[in-house]
Structure 1
Amino acid sequence: MAIWHWIEQTLRSYPELAIFLALAVGYWIGGKKFGSFSLGSVTGTLLAGVIIGQIGIDISPHIKSVFFIMFLFAVGFGVGPQFVRGVANDGLPQAVFAVIVSCLCLFSVYLAAVLSGYGPGLAAGLLAGTQTISASIGLATDAINRLDMSADQIQAQLDAIPVAYAVTYLFGTVGTGWIIAYLGPKILRINLQEECARYEKEMSEGEPDGGMQSAWYQYIVRSFKLTKPDFIAGKTVAQAEAGMTGGERLFLENLRRNGKIIEFDANTVLQVGDVVAVSGRHETLVDWSNRAEEVADQELLQIPIESIDVVVTSKNANGKTLLELSKSPCARGVYVTRIRRGSMGVDIPVQAQTKLHRGDIVSVSGSRKHVESVIEEFGFADRPTSVTDMVFVGSGIVIGGLIGAIVVPVGGIPITLSTSGGALIAGLVFGWLRSFKPKLGSVPSATLWFMNSVGLNVFIAVVGITAGPTFIQGVKEVGIELFFWGLFATSLPMLLAPLIGKYIFRFDPAINLGCCGGARTSTASVAMVAEAAKSNVPMLGYTVPYAISNTFLTLWGMVIVLLLG
């Protein structure tokens, strides 16, 4: 027992160790799978923090403030492009839908809190758990600290937040997925698999026989010796590439002259005796074999091939379909293998009618020459980097925090975004700006993950450890009743959302449930929908509502406290 006493004393003396212990245990618990369900790192960290906090550990509140403001900036930065596109462009219906659903979520929690007589602390935890929006806890904490209450009353409200969150989170996660994925198709009276198959067929309109990949990669490379002066000898490379057969573009990848491979450009004049490596459609190059001598030249055919992620930033690509872009001269000779969208990087279908948006990450492969042309035309290469532009991140958080710190009295009530809310808004703006001006600052995906995941979980660990001594008593007092109110607050918005999408917004049945999951910021539920549909089509409705609702539901943490405080 002496060793346990020593550990307790050490954790009390060095609370930073308690935080890292909560993180380690929380991530370990959260990563455990129970069938297809897992608690997730946030809930795991909260429970670990609560258990560790039973020994009574004092932690400075400034620690959680630092990590939470970092987390909120990362959230805004990740969803910025989709947020602005949804508000300003063709995603507007989905953006408005997300606002309505997020307001329904707030209303259901507010109604449950009023009917049950809960204070702002339990209500804030109820919101965070039922809507699985852990980020709202931070803004709720800021708002409660500003209430006109005694220090003991404020602490009691703060201690109630993790109680309500822990009791309601489980059904908030599992229930949302079950309602959307399994009740959703019945509510809409559709066969989800058939609707997605029909949508994919419509999105494939204009697609080549070989599929969309053949539109982007319908080229082979052959080497030919120019033996006739009446073919392309005497013409420039640009003239030869302009298409000598049926208007098809060809690409001269390499050139051997007098036994040596030489550098060339669009103005180089081809000569009889030259050996050229040519890429083009198979049927086009078959015609070449009748007009030039095909030769085996392995060295000439050793053309560098590159696979790379391209972040779309160009207005010339924004809103264009893959089929439209595949006809661009710079897009020939490469193919698209994957498209990821939004801060969660969800995969969307690679179909002829799939539209690209600024901020999309498109994985392309092809010869280095053609890949570089695509990068220059459409965006920038998202090459691996470990360097974060901390001038960009730090100044963004400071600017947002200064704006959020402004207090505006409304009817005698001091209204403020708080520094945390300001950081969220700054993240939205900075993320949007970087989607078309990538040189503004580099924030690698690994850094963004750290700011998102570890930033939030350090905050949650401190919340759990601080509330630990009163947590169990709180569960005993309100646990069962709170669980049923949580079931109500989770279910009401998700039962109404598919009907709102169908009858008011007229969403296509194939993406309606994706919109619903996005509007509830529930990635797990949309993954369940995609699994049930055996298609990624529902993901097309996910990203814009997610970006909008992720912002609003986070802000509701402050609003629910103002409504009840």
Structure 2
Amino acid sequence: MSWFTTTLRSYPEIAIFLSLGIGYWIGGKSYRGFTLGAVTATLLAAIAIGQLGITVSANVKSVFFLMFLSAVGYGVGPQFVRGIAKDGLPQALFSVVQCILCLAAPYVAAKLAGYSVGSAAGLFAGSQTISASMGLATDAMNRLWLPADQTKALLDAMPTAYAVTYIFGTIGSALILATLGPKLLGIDLVAACKEYEATLGGAQESGGAAVAWHQYELRAYRIAEHGPAVGLTVAQAEVRSPEGARLFVERIRRSGVLQDAKLDDVLQAGDVVAVAGRREHLVAMLGPRGTEVDDPELLAVPAEGVDVYVTNKEVDGKTLQELAARPLARGVFLRRIKRGATETPIPILPSTRLHRGDTVTIIGRTQDTTAAAKDLGVLDRPTGAADIAFVGFAITLGALIGAVVIKVGAIPITLSTAGGALIAGIVFGWLRAIHPTFGRIPEPTIWFMNSVGLNVFIAVVGITAGPGFVSGLQQLGVSLFLWGIFATSVPLILGMFIAKYIFKFHPAILLGICAGARTTTAALGMICDAAKSQVPGLGYTVTYAGGNTLLTIWGMVIVMLLT
């Protein structure tokens, strides 16, 4: 044990990786639906390892935190800019109101309880489950120019308060929004989502457009003598389908010869046609009157499913129903829409609107998906290569701007390098959304920068604070936990009533909006489960972008307010 301790003290990098290994392993376990998560588990593991008295360079923490904040900004950039500039403005304004409440409650709690600045910053970070704020709080406390021992005491108090308040911050926020919220607001969440889906065209679910853009099949049918399709062009035959039932003639076998179908091809008796469409439409409309044929060669149509990054200004803000009428949508079916840094699934309904920055998964013949992709934006084919030059320059530029200090009287005003990296990430992420020819960072790389960047920072914080954790917990434990409940609950409850009675958001998306402003993905999951619908996710992305940015910055602000 003595050798192990001496080795960790001599090689602190081993202690960091040990903290990460334990944290991710324990954080991935769940008990009856509850999990600590990687951040909290890594912090607790690092605090335990820190009892050995290990010293880690603060530069390690700074490097990984800048990487993390840049990734956060990159992910939320398109939604953040769109939310401020366009139809998401009410939701963006609400996220500001909610974030102010989330700052005010911990501030009031810290003042009433007489907590130090470090404990207050940890109370804020834990109760609002915004781990990233501790980085900006650390920068702010280091700029107080206090004696080294006082600064260390403040920094050591922060992870203690965070660890004590985080658990209820996670569980409590989910329960308040998903369970208590509908009762307090008098919302029948299931009925509200069904009604909202109906306003978006979801009522056409039986054979209608609301379901016509999902997975499809390709089947072969022989056109009967005197059949209704005889003498019609392919285009005329396709439009005879009931409204919303999108069926497409992809190929034709005529007199034993295969050919790709063209819109002006005239169908003849005896032709065998390959028809693409949703299974129930093929069965209901062609099954009773058509003779299905087993023709493997005819059905061997090159098809693929591809992700498309939406960038075209002409499709931004248009509904799926409008987009389905575009010529290049022929033969293409929509399987999935993902939006925002959290890849929130968006319901596929006729009145669902696409926005630049969305990622859609389309399926169909290769030539059709390629044409549709060019119409929507750019193909987002899988690749493991990241534009590291883009990442490096973005972080450098943001950190340089953040390093500038402007003195107002005797008060130094600065974004800090961390704040600058966050803002640079937002700007460069938005630029990537509108000009996707550069700056590609694959999802696995974003995950690494986000998750590992933050957790290395947390590990260093925990290892450094380890020796003072136990005594701090003994002094503040129970009262700190109770104040954490207050700081978590009050902003959410007030925010829900403000969202309903002042902003007058639709009940179906109201709770999703609140969850986004508090950046609590766990709550969104519980809300969608309770609603039996993905509709609440429509309100999540814009407020998440605003909340994630402001709550992170509040880590610096709460230090300034209390000093």
Which of 42, 45, 55 is matched with 2:42 structurally?
45
Q: C-alpha distance in 1, partners of 2:544/2:247?
A: 42
Which of 3, 7, 13 is matched with 1:6 structurally?
3
Q: C-alpha distance in 2, partners of 1:24/1:543?
A: 31
Q: C-alpha distance in 2, partners of 1:550/1:217?
A: 34
| Equivalent position of 2:184 in the other structure | 187
Q: Is it true that 1:123 corresponds to 2:120 in the alignment?
A: yes
Instruction: Give secondary structure in 2 for the equivalent of 1:438.
Output: coil
* Count, aligned residues: 551
What are the residue-to-residue correspondences of 1:351-390 with 2, within 5 Å?
A: 351-390=349-388
| Equivalent position of 1:136 in the other structure | 133
Q: C-alpha distance in 1, partners of 2:117/2:373?
A: 51
| Equivalent position of 2:171 in the other structure | 174
| Equivalent position of 1:28 in the other structure | 25
Deviation per residue, 1:77-101 (Å, 9 max, x gap): 1111111111011111110000000
Q: Is the 8 A contact 2:309 2:359 kept in 1?
A: yes
| Equivalent position of 1:313 in the other structure | 311
Deviation per residue, 1:30-70 (Å, 9 max, x gap): 11212111111000000000000001001100001000000
Q: C-alpha distance in 2, partners of 1:143/1:562?
A: 7
| Equivalent position of 1:236 in the other structure | none
TM-score, normalised via structure 2 length: 0.90
| Equivalent position of 1:503 in the other structure | 501
| Equivalent position of 2:537 in the other structure | 539
My pick for the range that moved more, 114-123 or 21-30, is 114-123
Change (3 A) 1:25 1:412: same
Instruction: Give secondary structure in 1 for the equivalent of 2:296.
Output: coil
| Equivalent position of 1:19 in the other structure | 16
Deviation at 1:178, TM superposition (A): 1.3
Q: C-alpha distance in 1, partners of 2:130/2:406?
A: 26
Q: Is the 8 A contact 1:216 1:333 kept in 2?
A: no
Instruction: Give secondary structure in 1 for the equivalent of 2:440.
Output: coil
Q: Is the 8 A contact 1:144 1:561 kept in 2?
A: yes
Instruction: Give secondary structure in 2 for the equivalent of 1:521.
Output: coil
What are the residue-to-residue correspondences of 1:230-379 with 2, within 5 Å?
A: 240-243=233-236, 246=239, 253-254=250-251, 277=273, 279=275, 297-379=295-377
Q: Is the 8 A contact 2:220 2:298 kept in 1?
A: no
Which of 490, 493, 496 is matched with 2:491 structurally?
493
Deviation at 1:218, TM superposition (A): 7.2
User: Which amino acid in 2 is paired with 1:121?
Assistant: G
Name stretches of at least 5 consecutive residues in structure 1 with no aligned partner: 234-238
User: Which amino acid in 2 is paired with 1:540?
Assistant: L
Instruction: Give secondary structure in 1 for the equivalent of 2:305.
Output: strand
Q: Is the 8 A contact 2:12 2:54 kept in 1?
A: yes
Instruction: Give secondary structure in 2 for the equivalent of 1:363.
Output: strand
Deviation at 1:382, TM superposition (A): 2.4
Q: C-alpha distance in 2, partners of 1:513/1:272?
A: 55
Deviation at 1:356, TM superposition (A): 1.6
My pick for the range that moved more, 365-374 or 59-68, is 365-374
| Equivalent position of 2:455 in the other structure | 457
Q: C-alpha distance in 2, partners of 1:179/1:173?
A: 10
My pick for the range that moved more, 60-69 or 400-409, is 400-409
Instruction: Give secondary structure in 2 for the equivalent of 1:343.
Output: coil
Deviation at 1:379, TM superposition (A): 2.0
What are the residue-to-residue correspondences of 1:515-526 with 2, within 5 Å?
A: 515-526=513-524
Change (3 A) 1:402 1:298: same
Deviation at 1:402, TM superposition (A): 1.1
| Equivalent position of 1:152 in the other structure | 149
TM-score, normalised via structure 1 length: 0.90
Deviation per residue, 1:372-394 (Å, 9 max, x gap): 12211112222221111101111
Change (3 A) 1:387 1:495: same
Deviation at 1:224, TM superposition (A): 6.9
Instruction: Give secondary structure in 2 for the equivalent of 1:362.
Output: strand
User: Which amino acid in 1 is paired with 2:73?
Assistant: G
Q: Is the 8 A contact 1:91 1:544 kept in 2?
A: yes
Deviation per residue, 1:524-545 (Å, 9 max, x gap): 1111111222221111111111
Change (3 A) 1:356 1:5: same
Change (3 A) 1:12 1:484: same
Q: Is the 8 A contact 1:215 1:323 kept in 2?
A: no
Deviation per residue, 1:495-545 (Å, 9 max, x gap): 101100001100011111111111111111111111222221111111111
Q: C-alpha distance in 1, partners of 2:377/2:539?
A: 24
Q: C-alpha distance in 1, partners of 2:428/2:57?
A: 30
Q: Is the 8 A contact 1:101 1:497 kept in 2?
A: yes
Change (3 A) 1:244 1:176: closer
Deviation at 1:346, TM superposition (A): 1.9
Q: Is the 8 A contact 1:133 1:553 kept in 2?
A: yes
| Equivalent position of 1:399 in the other structure | 397
Deviation at 1:342, TM superposition (A): 1.4
Q: C-alpha distance in 2, partners of 1:510/1:294?
A: 43
User: Which amino acid in 2 is paired with 1:110?
Assistant: Y
My pick for the range that moved more, 202-211 or 248-257, is 248-257
| Equivalent position of 2:104 in the other structure | 107
| Equivalent position of 1:73 in the other structure | 70
Deviation per residue, 1:151-176 (Å, 9 max, x gap): 11111111111011011111111111
Instruction: Give secondary structure in 2 for the equivalent of 1:141.
Output: helix
What are the residue-to-residue correspondences of 1:80-95 with 2, within 5 Å?
A: 80-95=77-92
Please report the RMSD computed on the Cα atoms of aligned residues, expressed in angstroms.
2.9
What are the residue-to-residue correspondences of 1:54-69 with 2, within 5 Å?
A: 54-69=51-66
Deviation at 1:112, TM superposition (A): 1.3
Q: Is the 8 A contact 2:238 2:248 kept in 1?
A: no
Change (3 A) 1:163 1:217: closer
Which of 182, 194, 197 is matched with 1:197 structurally?
194
Deviation at 1:559, TM superposition (A): 0.7
Q: C-alpha distance in 2, partners of 1:93/1:478?
A: 39
Q: C-alpha distance in 1, partners of 2:348/2:145?
A: 55
Name stretches of at least 5 consecutive residues in structure 2 with no aligned partner: none
User: Which amino acid in 2 is paired with 1:10?
Assistant: T
User: Which amino acid in 1 is paired with 2:123?
Assistant: L
Q: C-alpha distance in 1, partners of 2:149/2:15?
A: 24
Deviation per residue, 1:392-438 (Å, 9 max, x gap): 11111111111111112224211111111111111111111111221
Instruction: Give secondary structure in 2 for the equivalent of 1:300.
Output: helix
Change (3 A) 1:341 1:166: same
Instruction: Give secondary structure in 2 for the equivalent of 1:365.
Output: strand
Deviation per residue, 1:338-397 (Å, 9 max, x gap): 222211112222222222222222222222222112211112222221111101111111
Deviation at 1:220, TM superposition (A): 4.7
Q: C-alpha distance in 1, partners of 2:217/2:50?
A: 63
Q: C-alpha distance in 1, partners of 2:216/2:354?
A: 21
Q: C-alpha distance in 1, partners of 2:192/2:51?
A: 52
